[in-house]
Structure 1
């Protein structure tokens, strides 16, 4: 009887061992069948790349362009890619810092802030009429008495002034510095204007001027020109009072743990884009081109001068 029980026990152990070996073989086979691009990214296994997009010109058009870009990158990268337009600029920066977003479309100022805080890096930017530059404009209603920045400064007490998002380069930082230097603006609460408003994006700023809700405002030149071109703004009802020096275009940035292989695929894919919906969504771009952290050195200096970031020791 003992021998029978012993034999039964041995057979049971052998059966269980065979089952475990078979299960391991199935698992190994499944792992081996996974495409190489499904196993490693950003230092580990991944299921999805999330692209965060700042709301530069209103969400609808940007969502269309961002979604089409995500689909194109998904096809080239071989894994899930999704895009999300965030409600404000800073939200994208914080999402990158929290690891929720791996790639983002940022304004130059928000890029500099993200780079300083989370070491993200710029890899692509857009060309507007073949050039990677744009300007900050001050605009006003065409029938207003204002013709220049000096007029805005002299008549500040009569002017309802509109900035874009508080973290916008052309809609806040650069024109804000010009107005601070002129002595009429410090903060939204401390200024010489009749009122100061932050509209949240460039489309809202342009419409507020055109519709008489604000008297003057700051806006991105590329987005403004694109709005006029698309007929969303009547250019005959608005005039440009001031133009800044050249600003390097908005960067697409990635987290520093992204693999060089994936970065190369993203760059090559974006530089080949001709889809009008994608290009138009991002300032009416004519194409995309390479970008690097060094391209934003002047914005970093402006942010330091304005107290937005602290210089590295």
Structure 2
């Protein structure tokens, strides 16, 4: 009788633990690369979608900076994140067994636009715009792939010097929307911006082409991706990582995809981002 009681108690405890694990909220974040209200709307929709697909509560947690997104991932405050190429590399270096699991179709061949205020007289060309030297220049966030890493790489390659030496003044706007706004207003003469944000804001009428325009488009590179912690199966149940991956790959709602904007999500791996890691190491952005 005693053994039976212990068996019953053990079974109840196991069931309780299982229910507790299933009830635990799955959280994710995203780098703040654009207007906060737009990000909140986009990722609240993603949370609702994932909740329905995974059968657990899913919550989006906004952060104030790229560094904060990486820290939240490192500290297990979030288990999944929508990172840029550089921030994803940085995060995965800090969390053992974390993996890039999905990227937008467009993220295989991402690019940066160099933009200029009309007063510079600069116009679009196929070659790197060497005439930007000596002007004022703004990047996006210090941790941005499209707004800092790749443009800085091309600037160093062209001028054989750091941006601070190549330009009269260098700034970091914080996000791509602010980069566009600052160049359009003339606060900076030239800037580097995520092409997707530019195209989205141009289509929505937020850009005045008479004041600011694209002057150069970089060669393509891999960028944004969903990265997940390696311990999610232990925390949320067997095959949870595979289920999250499949849910992202199965995201087909046109409205949801348009908010990124991406035409679809496709499989990704850590190795896909080796070019980003190598570039970051080459210009001293990784330890």
Task: Give TM-score, length-normalised by structure 1.
Answer: 0.79
Aligned residues: 280
Instruction: Give the Cα separation in 2 of the matches to 1:222 and 1:193.
Output: 26
Inter-CA distance 124–141: structure 2 relative to 1 (3 Å threshold): same
User: Could you say which residue in structure 1 is the equivalent of 2:154?
Assistant: 178
Root-mean-square deviation (CA, aligned residues, Å) is 2.9
Larger Rg: 1
SS at match of 1:96: helix
Q: 1:139 aligns with which of 111, 115, 119?
A: 115
Structure 2 counterparts to residues 204-215 of structure 1, below 5 A: 204-215=178-189
Task: Give TM-score, length-normalised by structure 2.
Answer: 0.86
User: Could you say which residue in structure 1 is the equivalent of 2:168?
Assistant: 194
User: Could you say which residue in structure 2 is the equivalent of 1:217?
Assistant: 191
Instruction: Give the Cα separation in 1 of the matches to 2:241 and 2:173.
Output: 34
1:261 is the counterpart of 2:239: yes
User: Could you say which residue in structure 2 is the equivalent of 1:122?
Assistant: 100
**Structure 2: stretches of 5+ with no match in the other structure:** none
Instruction: Give the Cα separation in 2 of the matches to 1:150 and 1:193.
Output: 19
1:39 is the counterpart of 2:16: no
Judge which range, 270-279 or 241-250, deviates more: 270-279
Report if the CA contact (8 A) 1:65-1:277 is conserved: no
Report if the CA contact (8 A) 1:161-1:217 is conserved: yes
Inter-CA distance 37–54: structure 2 relative to 1 (3 Å threshold): farther
Instruction: Give the Cα separation in 2 of the matches to 1:232 and 1:38.
Output: 47
Instruction: Give the Cα separation in 1 of the matches to 2:202 and 2:9.
Output: 60
Inter-CA distance 26–173: structure 2 relative to 1 (3 Å threshold): same
Instruction: Give the Cα separation in 2 of the matches to 1:121 and 1:106.
Output: 12
How far does the alpha carbon of each residue in 1:41-99 deviate from its partner, in whole angstroms, 9 at most, with x for none? xxxxx711110110111211111111111111112222221112211111111111111
How far does the alpha carbon of each residue in 1:85-142 deviate from its partner, in whole angstroms, 9 at most, with x for none? 21111111111111111100101001111122223210011123xx732101111124
Report if the CA contact (8 A) 1:165-1:171 is conserved: yes
SS at match of 1:214: coil
Instruction: Give the Cα separation in 1 of the matches to 2:85 and 2:248.
Output: 19
**Structure 1: stretches of 5+ with no match in the other structure:** 1-16, 41-45
How far does the alpha carbon of each residue in 1:245-274 deviate from its partner, in whole angstroms, 9 at most, with x for none? 211130100011122622222222222323
Superposed displacement of residue 149, structure 1: 9.1
Report if the CA contact (8 A) 1:126-1:289 is conserved: yes
Report if the CA contact (8 A) 1:206-1:219 is conserved: yes
User: Could you say which residue in structure 2 is the equivalent of 1:49?
Assistant: 26
Report if the CA contact (8 A) 1:65-1:279 is conserved: no
Q: 2:265 aligns with which of 288, 291, 297?
A: 288
Report if the CA contact (8 A) 1:123-1:291 is conserved: yes
